[in-house]
Chain A
């Protein structure tokens, strides 16, 4: 049974690791969303054909 101190340490460690992971993921995601489109012919009007 972990003590309260050990439990808090574990929680804080997980929080810090998650924060770092999410920061990296967020930067990658930003790059994915605002990066150059994979298909150069992709433009705004394409969605119409799928409606």
Chain B
């Protein structure tokens, strides 16, 4: 055994512990022992064997999915919630690059990174959920199935993942010091943003369209022929809320990256987003009410599912909408942040209602996810957080690289 100085290690040095890393290296290693890292490592240690179990023994060994209920937690949370909460990327890119509200520029890169990672882990979640994941590219190359909504979703998600990667490329090239490549990536920004908005509009609504085929399976309070429209409107609200939540968390976790930010300017941006959130949530609320009236479901309101629907409508749509409005009116940044958290929870609740809770609501045997499904979901989210931190700590995401002009 060789120690750092290159000398042969003897039993005496072994006993003295000279073969151990030097104190500075040990201190460096010790710096990795943080509460987040410990929890993340524990989650990954549990998630790894469950992943092996999923891919070796199949879905039956790891999930409670059946032929009656083939879509469970992985589709309901990882895919539907993941796509909705990743909408901040196209919302902020459109705000800055298409509508010209350039003061929101500092929020674009974090939103695009969140969006890109969100979509990336949607695809990872899909790999877990598909019985034969190696057939994921089939809609593109082998068996398109152009009459299925899933054909549209598959193409849009694949293309939008690529678009988001390209939109994030300026940050990667700045990190790598590739000035000419970065200039090309910046030149593509407007075109990519237009393409991204088009693709997002299509697939956010198409995810709602997936449930149009199941009017008899989805509870009438959640089923509506306007589901695609409702999914799109709620995704915009989720995107705005996620940008606010993400900037709030980033400012606490990555304090050193944002210490040069003007606090008052950031607060103004958050208030502006709060105004947009209020308007979008109000529009979403009105559309939900009209969809309810269209389905003529008044008699269902005084049932347990009716009460649950009212909880979602009043507690997680109207309530944050009013919070946003009051906060914007009175300049209360903290209230905008609270409203954003409630909005995010509301959109997650809506997607879980549509895909799990109110789906096959009258079945004799209800689907309850297996513990391994929860473990995989938590593992995927944790891996996403680790990747986000890794990228933010290296690339100019929360701060501008002074060597380059900002992207407008």
Contacts and interface: CB of A to CB of B under 8 A. Distances in A.
B275 A38 contact: no
Interface in B280-337: 282-283, 286, 289-290, 293-294, 296, 324-325, 327-336
A39 B296 CA distance: 43
B278 interface: yes
B294 A26 contact: no
**Secondary structure of the A contact surface, majority rule:** helix
A35 B270 CA distance: 17
Interface string A8-51: 00010011001100100110011011110111001111111011
Interface residues on A, range: 20 to 34
Nearest to A8: B296
B403 interface: no
B68 interface: no
Contacts of A47: 267, 270-271, 327, 331-336
B365 interface: no
A33 B331 contact: no
Contact of A33 (B278, B294, B334): B278
A45 B329 contact: no
A25 B328 CA distance: 18
Contacts of A22: 286, 289-290
Interface in B256-271: 263-265, 267-268, 270-271
Interface of A: 7, 11, 14-15, 18-19, 22, 25-26, 29-30, 32-35, 37-39, 42-48, 50-51
